[in-house]
Structure 1
Amino acid sequence: MEMLKDIIERLNNSDESTTIEVKRGSAIDRSIMETICAFSNEPDLGGGTLVLGIERKELLLFPQYEVVGVKDMDKLQLDLASQCASLFNIPVRPEIEIETSNNLNVLKVFIPELHISQKPLYFKNEGLPRGAYRRIGSSDQRCSDDDMILFYNQTETFDSAIVQGSSLDDIDENAISLYRQLRKNVNTYAEELQYNDKELLQALGCAVKTQSGDWKLTYAGLLVFGSRAAHRRLIPMMRVDYIRVPGNEWVADPENRFTTIDMRGPLLELVSRAYSAVSDDLPKGFLLPEGELHAESVGLPGRVLREALVNAFMHRSYRVNEPIQLIRYGNRIELRNPGFSLKPADQLGEPGSQSRNQFIAAIFHETNLAETKGSGIRTMRRLMERAGMAPPTFESDHGANKFTLRLLLHHFLSEEDLDWLNQFNSLNLNDNQKRALIFTREAGAVDNPTYRQLNGCDVFRSSGELRQLKELDLLEMKGKGRYTYLIAGSLMNQGLDIKTSLSGPPPAHSGPPPALSGPPSALSGPPQASSEVTFDALLEEIPENLRNRIISLGKRISNPDVLKNIIIELCKFRPHSLEELSILLQRKDKYLLEEFIIPLRQEGLLKFTLPEMPNHPNQAYTAV
């Protein structure tokens, strides 16, 4: 097992990670057991180390992990071993070591990964899938139905399930014709081209003959070949919402919110419709190099946009009744997809693909709309780099069951960007740090995973370079621990003022699309809380009965459900940030986050107001 000094050094360089978790260790509580469950389950992790008796000192100028020690070592070991043996469906045997530093005892616990035949480990009193946990990044996440596919290696996926109430009359003949045309372009002599429509649908896993002799569509058949009327009747939320937002922030101007186009229909057609809607709306330009006869197009490469759309249709979770959201800001495109990535975030772009919709993926592959070798993201990165644009960034949120892709639309480190960066020349920033400043200027914030994606570097290098930007007052750190993100600091804000005075506000969009609707509630984030927010001001705006319940709260409560219900009621009244909840309830934000907010999100009772970026400076929570 790793030495304590090496663990602390690693924590201070890169914070908690996939394989290491630290706790204060005053007692063996639920969060500790969730970490043990997650370490045991996570595939190919090899297990993880849990350290009790270390705490992150947040009040230091540069927060550091320090040994604080644990008391009653014998009781802790006994409680840990007892709960590991009794709480789960099978006993877990942790490897426990005690190490002393400055006369303080630290408990190091290694949890080995279980054999595939023993997974998933889960809490007996909760069952599957909610009682099982996975280690996602530096957090422990409840499992979903999609995770069960990973554990049990199930051959049956959701897209093979029969859609009750469907029939062959729900098929769009134009979609069948389009498939035949696309398949013929790939292989003129493909055997399935000789089948009639019914045989073709059956061969593709899109239609099934039931025992009663009736033909029913599977979800793959309805999604890929179903008519728009059938989609509206049977799967009304399976659509694409193309949302155009003025400016660079969500609902920055309440009088000029956004316009949206709702698109639904067979997936083979929807790829082209969504691509055309976005492509026609993007700024276009042409460059004629000296001595050349043919102009080159500049701007977002069309293949990148198409690849992003195809990946969204192919890999989204169709168990979730939500549309795909394609959001066009003034400076970027964000694609928000229901369903976290089955592939670990740090392996995105590497060879190999994991699909939750095997029949849909096969159809897309056979028609050359997509590849299934896991090279799509690598291709997008290469094409964006070749076009002189920022690489795409990705966020896979297992807890919220979301996947977000972000594409900046302007040329990265363009002449304008370089002019803006010149004011920081004396600071000797490297190219990675310059990219992070440009990204923060455009997106409002940056975190460690995004920094690594932008620059293709490891966690140790990204942590050190971000720390240097913080020390230079170019970036300011917000959040704590695994929820840390950085926004523009005082020195960078001076540069932003210079840029604004020179360039003015971002240009307005061209004419609005035909449909107009209100914003999805999950995205309407509240203004960011500040240090000027007071207990009295927050208390005054909430309903009287809720106000009285908060006032009657003491410093200690015997029943945690009391505080849990108040948090839900507050977030039902309006979205609240962690800072606001901490002020109102007069509890430390770390305590609220770990003991209430995260569990409530995992139970589906709270959700982010800005799910596309969990570490966003304006992040808040709203009741489901």
Structure 2
Amino acid sequence: MQDEELFEIIANLRTLGGDVSDVEVKKSHRELPKTVRESLSAFANTHGGVLILGLDETAGFAATGVHDAAKLSNDLASLCSTDMEPVLRPLIRVHDFEGVKLIVAEVPELDPAQRPCFYRGAGMTKGSFVRVGDGDRRLSSYEVQIMLSSRGQPREDEQSVPGTGLELLDPIILETFIARLRVSRPYAFKDLDRDALLRRAKVVVTGPDGTDALSLAALLALGSYPQEHFPQLMVSFVHYPPSAGDASAAETRFLDNVTIEGPIPVMVRDALAVIRRNMSRRAIIGGAGREDVWEYPETALREAVVNALVHRDLSSASRGTQIQIEMYPDKLIVRSPGGLFGPVTIDNLADEGISSTRNATLMRILEEVPIPGETRTVCENRGSGIRAMVSALRAAGMSPPQFDDRIASFTVTIPNHALLGEETVRWIQSLGERGLADSQCIALAMLRDGEILDNRSYRSTAGVDSRVATAELQDLVARELVVQIGTRRWARYELSQRLRRRVSGETPASTRTDRRPQLLNALGDETLSRAELARRTGLTDQTVRRWLSLMRKEGTVELVGSSPRSSSARYRRTRQGSLFPTTDPR
């Protein structure tokens, strides 16, 4: 870590007045506090982080320093290598800051196959921690079990269910499954007889006692009534009334309360039907006139429900927990046991090509089982469900889904909020900016509502990868619509002061800022680089680069020498640029 980045981190901590999720500070004047072990474990088990020794949070993050930086650095390195399991190798450096020495350790995130990281002296269960907000929380024994299961491919869905046989399967669903399997995967199944096919598909498996039985996956996907054996492997739906000042609503605990049972294809169908029954419609006015649509797009609902049913944890410790769907006036929540599995994280959840399946056998069966009354199968196993959910909500002009991975559970929250309402659309149009992507418009709408975005939240909002997110955010900075606070991993984005004044009504709507006169004035008869133009005008490099690109296309400036991508590229006015008015039209 460079000194400048450390200064920026501490400035952010002082501004916020507290730790953040990926930074932990300790006073640590003469020795390592015992809580250092917890923070090391928590960072390694979550997304990594930065540990700073020598700052006093209780004194506004004052730099108190460490007494013997060399000794304390060695103690920290020894703790990581001898007391932590697996061994941690953080990058540890001593920095000079405000006249004292600080020790900074950058703790990397552990690969899921190595988790949990724990303090050996306390053991795996009591010595494993995870980062939650700005603090460290001890993992429960169930969460430890979940992490251990992520070290390989879980096989709970392949386990036999003693005392079960083919008579417990829905005959129509079973025959449809067999027929589709022979057609879609002929190499593996076309020439097999029925019994061999069911065994190869792991519908029938041999249990520990040597007897044949149905697999848990087969019972859940094809069974007539799986809840006879596993009562809590079902879905509960609750519709809550408004809570604000409505006396009649206060007397009603639930507007609807439904238990949804059956095999997974039936539960998908019935869950969607219950949600539709409790949804209202809203009107959208478009070019073709008025259109009535559901509060939530069908695609987003289906993907949320299917993902919960297919990817839930099926280990014995979680079989007493059902999937929960909760509808509130302002949001819909779908919660399932078991967090994200494998390499999938909230950061890359919507990225193309990122897919990992906890219940591989269940997934393969459900790829060939249609939802009753439909031709589509329950799932595709192409890693596209989350992107489809985000795209459907974006197309409906709604707020993006919010994801919460708690190791023991995964929650999808879909806000019932028209992000791009008529007033917001008019506001974006009033900015006069051409060529904004839909994702950029949604980001502006969220910022207008008071949110602050970073690269991760933008990716989740827009359903784009990190590279596209960075490019689109930098374009918004170049247009002077948003400002960047911080750099690298600490970068945050908020509305520019000009737009904030317009949102608050301090200034009326106006046309976009034209920086061409300002840049032409700065050029004069000279040949200057982007950096020189930025210094003379006080504009950011992104803004200067954007306007120079536009001015090159219109012929008012020309490039001298290098590629425009080079920092040494220089520009001068053309003859046409000399005729351009050099007063800002505002």
Partner of 2:144: 144
Distance in structure 1 (CA, Å) of the matches to 2:127 and 2:201: 35
Q: Please tell me whether residue 255 in structure 1 is matched to residue 251 in structure 2.
A: yes
Partner of 1:22: 25
CA deviation string 1:413-452 (max 9, x = no partner):
2226669999xxxxxx986354356598xxxx99997677
Q: Please tell me whether residue 270 in structure 1 is matched to residue 262 in structure 2.
A: no
Partner of 2:570: none
> Are the aligned partners of 1:8 and 1:66 in contact in 2 as well (CA < 8 Å)?
no
Q: Please tell me whether residue 34 in structure 1 is matched to residue 38 in structure 2.
A: yes
Instruction: Give the residue type in structure 2 aligned to 1:432.
Output: A
Q: CA deviation at 1:366?
A: 3.8
Alignment partner of 2:236: what SS?
A: strand
Instruction: Give the residue type in structure 2 aligned to 1:390.
Output: S
- What pairs up with 1:301-450 in 2 under 5 angstroms? 301-319=297-315, 320=318, 321-342=320-341, 343-350=344-351, 351-367=353-369, 368-398=377-407, 401-409=408-416, 411-415=418-422, 432=443, 434-435=445-446
Distance in structure 2 (CA, Å) of the matches to 1:34 and 1:251: 46
- What pairs up with 1:183-222 in 2 under 5 angstroms? 187=184, 192=189, 198-210=195-207, 212-222=209-219
CA deviation string 1:324-346 (max 9, x = no partner):
11112223321112222232111
Partner of 1:603: none
Name the stretch that deviates more: 280-289 or 370-379. Answer: 280-289
Q: CA deviation at 1:246?
A: 1.4
Partner of 1:158: 156
Q: Please tell me whether residue 244 in structure 1 is matched to residue 239 in structure 2.
A: yes
> Are the aligned partners of 1:162 and 1:208 in contact in 2 as well (CA < 8 Å)?
yes
Alignment partner of 1:76: what SS?
A: helix
Alignment partner of 1:403: what SS?
A: strand
> Are the aligned partners of 1:158 and 1:356 in contact in 2 as well (CA < 8 Å)?
no
* Structure 1 pair 438–33 and aligned structure 2 pair: CA distance change class (3 A): same
Alignment partner of 2:161: what SS?
A: coil
Q: Please tell me whether residue 88 in structure 1 is matched to residue 84 in structure 2.
A: yes
Give the length in aligned residue pairs: 452
Alignment partner of 1:346: what SS?
A: coil
- Equivalent of 1:176 in 167, 171, 174: 174
Distance in structure 1 (CA, Å) of the matches to 2:299 and 2:280: 16
Alignment partner of 2:52: what SS?
A: strand
Q: CA deviation at 1:314?
A: 1.4
> Are the aligned partners of 2:312 and 2:336 in contact in 1 as well (CA < 8 Å)?
yes
> Are the aligned partners of 1:240 and 1:324 in contact in 2 as well (CA < 8 Å)?
yes
Alignment partner of 1:144: what SS?
A: helix
Partner of 1:541: none
- What pairs up with 1:485-500 in 2 under 5 angstroms? none
* Structure 1 pair 251–117 and aligned structure 2 pair: CA distance change class (3 A): same
Distance in structure 1 (CA, Å) of the matches to 2:28 and 2:97: 16
* Structure 1 pair 464–66 and aligned structure 2 pair: CA distance change class (3 A): farther
* Structure 1 pair 119–328 and aligned structure 2 pair: CA distance change class (3 A): closer
Q: CA deviation at 1:243?
A: 0.9
* Structure 1 pair 390–93 and aligned structure 2 pair: CA distance change class (3 A): closer
Higher relative contact order (CA closer than 8 Å, sequence separation 6+): 1
Identical columns (%): 26
> Are the aligned partners of 1:248 and 1:331 in contact in 2 as well (CA < 8 Å)?
no
Partner of 1:5: 4
Scaled by the length of structure 2, the TM-score of the pair is: 0.63
Q: CA deviation at 1:387?
A: 2.4
Partner of 1:465: 494
Name the stretch that deviates more: 350-359 or 247-256. Answer: 247-256
Q: Please tell me whether residue 67 in structure 1 is matched to residue 63 in structure 2.
A: yes
Distance in structure 2 (CA, Å) of the matches to 1:215 and 1:10: 60
Q: CA deviation at 1:261?
A: 0.3
Alignment partner of 1:318: what SS?
A: coil
* Structure 1 pair 388–174 and aligned structure 2 pair: CA distance change class (3 A): same
Query: Structure 2: 5+ residue runs without aligned partners?
Result: 370-376, 430-439, 464-468, 474-483, 486-490, 506-586
Alignment partner of 1:432: what SS?
A: helix
> Are the aligned partners of 1:130 and 1:144 in contact in 2 as well (CA < 8 Å)?
no
Alignment partner of 2:364: what SS?
A: helix
* Structure 1 pair 68–158 and aligned structure 2 pair: CA distance change class (3 A): farther
What is the root-mean-square deviation in Å for CA atoms of aligned residues?
4.7
> Are the aligned partners of 2:26 and 2:55 in contact in 1 as well (CA < 8 Å)?
yes
